[in-house]
Amino acid sequence: MDIHEYQAKELLAGYGIPVPVGGLAYSPEQASYRAREIGGDRWVVKAQIHSGGRGEAGGVRICSSETEIQEAASDMLGRRLVTRQTDSRGKLVGRLYVEEATDIAQELYLGIVLDRASERIMLVASSAGGMEIEEIAVEEPDSLLRISIDPAAGLLEYQARELAFGLGLDSRLVNKLVKILMASYRAFRDLDATMVEINPLVVTGSDDLVALDAKMSFDDNALFRRPQISELRDRSQEDPRESAAADRGLAYVGLEGDIGCMINGAGLAMATMDMIKLAGGAPANFLDIGGGASPERVLKAFRVVLGDANVKVMLVNIFAGINRCDWVAEGVVQAFQKLDVQMPVIVRLSGTNVDEGRRIIAQSGLPIITAETLAEAAEKAVAARPTAEKAA
């Protein structure tokens, strides 16, 4: 689960990390009021969306008067901001964060992430702040410093100190950075985060360190024990298809194709999407119904996939181990009966109780297209698309 910049800053400030003074606004008038509360003569108005690259897309404005603040707020609020990290639909701007402008002398990058390859928490830092980490890796690879954190010991002060010196900071800033690094790690650990990113972490003209921007992501599976984090969820920033699937315990990722997929197992799902592309089609989603899927769970999955207006064909590909083909077949039949399915549905079953599953499909009398292999199923799904378009 992702949260907004202002929410991440509030959490990090609670761990002692310095952040600029700011306030939340939902209207142009409220934005100008926040500026008066903050004081000063320069402010930054930031669109609050779950995406990087806001500045390039016009989602960050530096303002020198209340009139400029209101104009910036009017331009942003209610707009769908398209950045290099969003899809073509962009993200809806429903709230703004107004904060004091900061005198920037140097920008640093700081990130703490879960490195699944090494099964460790990885601390990454760079003297090339203000850029996305992918850009830093390409354009400034020598600036990247990494520290692998032992989960039993946690981040140790000597490691943080080595990294601070490695960034070439003035000795007066080393202790300040060490405190920020240690606090960031505690926030990561205590809140079940999967990412803490401060970019940029700036050195100010008065030799202070300030988190100018911040991102945090959290482990969905741990939200049950972090109600204070779960309450920060903003569904307006999520794909409604993915939200609906998550509420039903389904692993779903929305894509932009027109062939809906219902598959068991992440590996098989990836292979199925590749096969659809190879056959000349485009998948509309990644959906893993998991092991032991009951007919009721299959019906829920159908509802989620068919809720996407772009879907013209449905492909069900099941290789049953823990799952049972007869359960899946019963779920497919129920979907036709209860959801009034009008589009072509291709079903490929293999594995546990496959003969019973195929019998249920065959005797249902429904216009379900069957396939023996994954390649055949993908080809039939792609071939069925014109039929769907004509029916529409």
Q: In the chain, what are the domain boundaries?
A: 1-19+103-237, 21-101, 239-391
Q: What is the mean pLDDT of residues 359-377?
A: 93
Q: Name the fold adopted by 239-391.
A: Rossmann fold (3.40.50)
CATH 3.30.1490.20, applies to 21-101: yes
Scanning 14-94, the segments in alpha helix (DSSP H) are 28-38, 66-76
- Bigger pLDDT: 85 vs 202: 202
53: annotated binding-site residue?
A: yes
CA distance 169 to 107: 11
pLDDT of residue 155: 95
140: annotated binding-site residue?
A: no
The overall average pLDDT reported for the chain is 90
Lowest mean pLDDT among 95-99, 183-187, 268-272: 268-272
pLDDT of residue 118: 85
pLDDT of residue 386: 63
Q: What is the mean pLDDT of residues 263-282?
A: 92
CA geometry: angle at 228 spanning 227 and 233, to 5°?
85
Question: Can 1-19+103-237 and 21-101 be said to share one CATH topology?
Answer: no
37: annotated binding-site residue?
A: no
CA distance 105 to 203: 5
Question: Which residue among the candidates 6, 97, 109, 185 is catalytic per the annotation?
Answer: 109
Number of H helices, E strands in the chain: 13, 18
265: annotated binding-site residue?
A: no
DSSP 237: G
197 is catalytic: yes
Question: Which residue among the candidates 197, 242, 330, 379 is catalytic per the annotation?
Answer: 197
Lowest mean pLDDT among 120-129, 247-256, 316-325, 349-358: 247-256
CATH no. of 1-19+103-237 = 3.30.470.20
310: annotated binding-site residue?
A: no
Count of other CB atoms within 10 angstroms of residue 362: 12
Q: What is the pTM of this model?
A: 0.76
194: annotated binding-site residue?
A: no
Asked if pLDDT for residue 387 goes beyond 70, the answer is no
CA distance 40 to 98: 12
Lowest mean pLDDT among 111-115, 147-151, 240-244, 325-329: 240-244
pLDDT of residue 388: 44
Q: What is the mean pLDDT of residues 53-82?
A: 93
